Amino acid sequence: MCGIVGYIGTQQASEILIEGLRCLEYRGYDSAGIATVSEGEIHCIRAKGKLNNLQDKLMGHEMPGIVGIGHTRWATHGKPEEHNAHPHLDMTRRVAVVQNGIVENYRELREALKERGCTFVTETDTEVIPNLVIECLNQMKATGELSQHPSPLTEAVRRVVNQLEGAFAIVVLCVDYPDEIVAARQQAPLVIGFGLGEFFCASDTPAILPHTRAVLPLENGELATLTPLGVEVCNFAGQRLRKHPHLLSGASIAVEKHGFRHFMLKEIYEQPSVVRACLEAYIDREWTAKETTHPVQLGLPAELYADLQQIQIVACGTSWHASLVGKHLLEQLAGIPTQVHYASEYRYAPPPLTPNTLMIGVTQSGETADTLSAISMEKERRSNLAPAFRPRLLGITNRMQSTLTRLVDCAIDTHAGIEIGVAATKTFMAQLMAFYCLALDLAYQRKTISPDRLQEIITALRHVPSQIESVLADQEQRVEELAHDFSETQDFIFVGRGINFPIALEGALKLKEISYIHAEGYPAGEMKHGPIALLDAKVPVVAITMPGAVYEKVISNAQEAKARDARLIGVTPPTNPHAAEVFDDLLPVPEIEELLSPLLTVIPMQLLSYHIAARRGLDVDQPRNLAKSVTVE
Ligand code: F6R
């Protein structure tokens, strides 16, 4: 997390840095700061809280300089206070650094620096970096080495990054070298942008796209030196690398609410289009059961599927919930044993190696550190094994230019478009669609599904966009009214079974993260094994009750909750004959076959959490303590 930017060129840096940070604020908003260099001085200004606070502080403040760096923070080490905000300067104020990531060995480095007379003014891990850089430059000066290097600053940064452990991306500037900035990447994203006589670097392309489409993503272990004349790239060993930018396609991202009160609500409303985009991209529009052609076109290589015996999925948060739905589909439709792992757990306790195993990494941002490191670990431990054990890696993501897609063999683009609201909504829907397509593709190829059944599912999928539209049109007002009743509620329970259990988890997560109300998702049948003790009249229960294999069971589980005085909210079709008798409130969704029902049942969950949070007057799009892209482990 954290967003970092750098600029060197001909324009006033501060404005460009602020614009860039605005595009990266989704990565963290605990504090923000910028530093520029001009006339032998580093000018640094920082503010606690969101970027607007920094902008307010900048009003009427002279911030000269055409070279600068900036940062928007998601706090890891040290409270989100102004003194911990980046950029961090060395004690002589000659070097400034912004960092995204964590320097894991900062304690040892800090102690060693202290012994050498250095004093620290923050609780951050980053503050060691400018102090190490200046120390290194001083040593090079003392030993007469400065003249041996075309860029002494690059050499000093190179020596310093070799001492750092952890996952990080940094950008460094120095008063003694006012015509350059140095950027380095180790397991945290960093992209260089090539303009005309001006160069940029940033944690993500949206900060660069308003200026140029020519970009170069740095790889792990690479350093870039940006000067007004161009960009030089070398590795951490100091070898020069020949690298060329490529042109990004697509428009720069329009970050507009289009009349919606919040991005989250806009993104909830974009879900019918997301489903349509996925169907359009991956399902043959003309296909019928009579055809011998392949209905699902994911463009994945045949080797990925050959003799497939097992699937391991790694993901976090909402992507983990989408993966649980994916597991259900892959097992029930394609008959492939599938395990879903929290990516943060996988790396340190991986399952025993099995042959012919596909690993799928699911991440909307494509930058989640836990997911990336689980995949890297898997790739490494399988790399020198017999062919059946070699890694097969598939990504499911919304960001086809992310670190994920460079790590895996191939990826499914979920076609969701950029999501600004920190709480994932449309990207979850898009991940579900990717899993439906993948499971149907595998089922077709492995002949575990009949053409008629496949046609039935495809036909039903085609109705989903208009069904979502009808839920949004019919339900929003009702949900908003219902939300009024719950703005003071302290605990919520969500229950579902089978393919809707992950939707109960997702409903609870959405509520927790944006309304700060404690919520739990349970398999409905599990309530009686303990959690039912939590229930009383103050704890509402949302029960996802869709016709299908577990319908009667969920109705019984809901009755059990009602008998404990819980206020019961049913997410269920209006045709449910038990609805009036069992539920206190209804959030109706259209009839749909159980297998596809998560695509509809998640909508009332999203609306409910949105309206409860909005009613409580909370910052729905940027909830406290969270960030959109979690790039630390
Ligand atoms: C919840 C949410 C997070 C993310 C999680 C993984 O609304 O957004 O739980 O789902 O941090 O993020 P990605 O999908 O980018 O790997």
Tokens of 495: 């229950």
Instruction: Tell me what pLDDT residue 250 has.
Output: 60
What does each C-alpha distance from 122 to 34, 58, 104, 152, 631 come to in angstroms? Answer: 17, 22, 16, 27, 22
- Strand pairing category for 191-194 and 88-89: unpaired
**Is the pLDDT score of 329 beyond 70?**
yes
Does ligand 1 have an atom closer than 6 angstroms to the CB of 606? Answer: no
Evaluate whether 224 touches 199 at the Cβ level (below 8 Å): no
Residue nearest to atom 5 of ligand 1 (CA): 317
**Distance from the CA of 258 to the center of ligand 1, in angstroms?**
24
Residue 39 has pLDDT above 70, yes or no: yes
pLDDT at residue number 254:
57
User: Tens digit of pLDDT for each residue in 579-614?
Assistant: 888 999 999 999 999 999 999 999 999 999 999 999
What is the DSSP pairing of strand 310-315 with strand 338-342? Answer: parallel
Q: How big is the CA angle at 205 (ends 215 and 169), to the nearest 5 degrees?
A: 90
For residue 271, what are its two tokens? 């879900």
Residue closest via CA to ligand 1's atom 12 equals 363
Gap between the terminal Cα atoms of the chain: 10
Per-residue pLDDT averaged across 274-290, rounded? 91
Query: How far does Cα 29 stand from its chain's mean position?
Result: 15
Instruction: Select from 262, 319, 367 the residue to mutate for testing ligand 1; criterion: most ligand atoms less than 8 Å from CB.
Output: 319
- Residue 581 has what pLDDT? 87
CA of 360 to the centre of ligand 1 (A): 16
Cα 324 to ligand 1 centroid, rounded to whole Å: 14
Distances (CA, A) of 626 to 90, 316, 426, 466, 623: 29, 14, 18, 32, 6
Q: Which atom of ligand 1 is nearest to the CA of 427?
A: 14
Query: Does 546 have pLDDT greater than 60?
Result: yes
Q: Yes or no: is domain 3-247 CATH 3.30.420.40?
A: no
**Cβ(425) – ligand 1 distance below 6 Å:** no
* 140 contacts: CB under 8 Å, gap ≥ 6: 146, 149, 152, 155, 156
Q: What is the pLDDT of residue 48?
A: 95
Mean pLDDT along residues 419-427: 94
Apex 562 CA angle, 559 and 563, nearest 5: 90
Query: What pLDDT, on a 0 to 100 scale, did the predictor assign at position 401?
Result: 82
pLDDT greater than 90 at residue 257 = no
Provide, rounded to the nearest whole percent, the portion of the chain with pLDDT above 70.
Answer: 99
CA of 283 to the centre of ligand 1 (A): 27
Q: Give the chain's mean pLDDT.
A: 94
Q: How far is the CA of 269 from the centre of ligand 1 (A)?
A: 19
Tell me which of 152-166, 240-254, 436-450 is least confident: 240-254
Distance, CA of 41 to CA of 65 (rounded, Å) = 10
Instruction: Give the mean model confidence (pLDDT) for residues 212-233.
Output: 96
CA-closest candidate to residue 297, choices 474, 437, 391: 437
How long a stretch of residues is the chain? Answer: 633
Confidence band, pLDDT 50/70/90 cuts, at residue 143 = very high
- Pick from 443, 450, 360: nearest CA to 407: 360
Q: Which residues are catalytic?
A: 2, 628
Q: Identical fold at 257-449 and 476-621?
A: yes
Q: Which two tokens stand for residue 163?
A: 């001492």
Task: Classify 330 as helix, strand or coil.
Answer: helix
Residues 234-255 have a mean pLDDT of 82
CA distance 425 to 607: 10
**Structure-token match 């060995």, residue found:** 105
Cα dihedral sign for 253, 258, 260, 261?
A: positive
Query: Cα(320) to centroid of ligand 1, in Å?
Result: 8
pLDDT of the residue at 152: 96
Structure tokens at 264: 């989250």
DSSP-derived 3-state class of residue 531: helix
With 90 as the cut, is the pLDDT of residue 33 above it?
yes
* 414-434 average pLDDT score: 95
* 209: its two tokens: 């796209």
Q: Which atom of ligand 1 is nearest to the CA of 343?
A: 16
Question: pLDDT for 334-344, tens place per residue?
Answer: 999 999 999 99
- Residue 128 Cβ < 6 Å to ligand 1: no
Q: Coil, helix or strand for 105?
A: coil
Measured from the CB, is residue 423 less than 6 Å from ligand 1?
yes
**What's the pTM?**
0.86
Domain ranges of the chain: 3-247, 257-449, 476-621
Indicate the pLDDT class of residue 306, thresholds 50, 70 and 90: very high
**602 CA to centre of ligand 1 in angstroms:** 16
| pLDDT reported for residue 85 | 95
* Residue percentage of the chain with pLDDT more than 90: 83
Is the per-residue pLDDT at 432 higher than 60?
yes
Residue 255 — very low, low, confident or very high, per pLDDT cuts 50/70/90?
low
The CATH number that domain 257-449 falls under is 3.40.50.10490
- Ligand 1: residue of 1, 341, 368 to mutate (most ligand atoms within 8 A of CB) is 368
Distance in Å, CA 411 to ligand 1 centroid: 18
- pLDDT over threshold 70, residue 251: no
319 C-beta closer than 6 A to ligand 1: yes
Q: What is the mean pLDDT of residues 468-482?
A: 93
Q: Which residue type is seen at 37?
A: V
- 186 within ligand 1 shell (Cβ under 6 A): no
Residue 248 is predicted with a pLDDT of 82
Range scoring the smallest mean pLDDT among 143-157, 286-300, 367-381, 510-524:
286-300
Strand arrangement, sheet containing 392-397 = 338-342, 310-315, 357-363, 392-397, 410-413
User: With bands split at pLDDT 50, 70 and 90, how would you rate the model's confidence at 317?
Assistant: very high
Check pocket membership of 318 for ligand 1, CB cut-off 6 A. Answer: yes
Nearest to 341 by CA among 325, 358, 327, 320: 320
Task: Report how far apart, in Å, the C-alpha atoms of 263 and of each of 11, 318, 423, 620 are.
Answer: 31, 17, 10, 8
Phi, psi of 201 (to 5 degrees): -140, 150
CB 568 within 8 A of CB 583: yes
Quick: pLDDT tens for 51-100. Answer: 999 999 999 888 999 999 999 998 888 888 989 999 999 999 999 999 99
Rounded to an integer, the average pLDDT of 330-334 is 98
**Top-level class of domain 476-621:** alpha beta
Nearest CA to ligand 1 atom 16: 363
Closest atom of ligand 1 to CA, residue 317: 9
Residue 386, pLDDT above cutoff 90: yes
pLDDT, tens digit (0-9, with 9 covering 90-100), for 169-194: 999 999 999 999 999 999 899 999 99
364 lines ligand 1 (CB under 6 A): yes
Ligand 1 atom index nearest CA of 365? 15
Ligand 1 and 371: CB distance under 6 A: yes
- Measure the CA–CA gap between 380 and 403, rounded to whole angstroms: 16
**Pocket of ligand 1 contains residue 414 by CB under 6 Å:** no
SS (H, E, C) 126-163: CCHHHHHHHHHHHHHHHCCCHHHCCCHHHHHHHHHHCC
Tokens 């909508």 identify what position?
603
> Tell me, what's the pLDDT at 80?
87
Alpha carbons 267 and 423: distance in angstroms, whole number: 10
Q: Taken in order 630, 225, 249, 197, is the CA torsion positive or negative?
A: positive
Rounded to the nearest angstrom, the distance between the alpha carbon of 74 and the centre of ligand 1 is: 15
Q: Are 318 and 350 in contact (CB under 8 A)?
A: no
What distance in Å separates the CA atoms of residue 515 and residue 614, rounded to the nearest whole number?
Answer: 8
Task: Provide mean pLDDT across the span 224-247.
Answer: 95
Ligand 1 binding pocket mutation candidate from 26, 74, 318 (most atoms within 8 A of CB): 318
* 180 closest CA partner among 221, 139, 219, 232: 232
Give the span between the Cα atoms of 570 and 138, in whole angstroms: 69
Q: Is the CB of 475 under 6 A from ligand 1?
A: no
Name, in order, each residue with C-beta under 8 angstroms of 188's C-beta and a sequence gap of 6 or more: 100, 101, 167, 168, 169, 203, 369, 631
Q: Is the CB of 513 under 6 A from ligand 1?
A: yes
